[in-house]
Amino acid sequence: MDEQNRKKTILSGIKPSGDLTLGSYMGAIKNWVELADEYNCYYMLADMHAVTVRQDPAELRRRTLSQLAQYIACGLDPEKNTLFIQSHVPAHAELAWALSCYTMFGELSRMTQFKDKAAKNADNINAGLFTYPVLMAADILLYQADLVPVGEDQKQHVELTRDIAHRFNAVYGDVFTMPEPFIPKTGARIMSLQTPCSKMSKSEQDNGGCVCLLDKPEDIMRCFRRAVTDCDTVDCVRFDPETKQGVSNLMQIYSVCTGKSFQQIQEEFSGLGYGAFKPRVGEAVVELLRPIREEAERLLRDKAYLESVYRDGARRAAQVAGRTVRKVYKKLGFVQP
CA distances from 148 to 90, 177, 212, 229 (A): 21, 12, 24, 33
Q: How big is the chain by its Cα radius of gyration, in Å?
A: 21
Q: Roughly how many angstroms between the first and final C-alpha of the chain, as a whole number?
A: 30
* Cβ within 8 Å of residue 168, ≥6 positions away: 99, 102, 175, 176, 328
Which of 8, 80, 199, 260 is catalytic? The answer is 199
Q: Active site includes 202?
A: yes
Element (H, E) at 14: strand 9-14
Closest-CA residue to 154 (of 251, 48, 27): 27
Say which of 117, 260, 327, 331 is annotated catalytic.
117
Buried residues in 20-49 as b, exposed as e (16+ CB within 10 A): bbbbbbbbbbbbbbebbeebbbbbbbbbbb
Instruction: Quickly list DSSP for 21-46.
Output: BHHHIIIIIHHHHTTTTTSEEEEEE-
95 neighbors 141 (Cβ within 8 angstroms): yes
Checking DSSP bridges between strand 81-85 and strand 147-149, what pairing results, if any? unpaired
CB atoms within 10 A of CB 298: 12
For CA atoms 321, 19, 126, 157, give the dihedral sign.
positive
**Quick check: is 117 catalytic?**
yes
Query: What are the residue numbers of the active site?
Result: 117, 199, 202
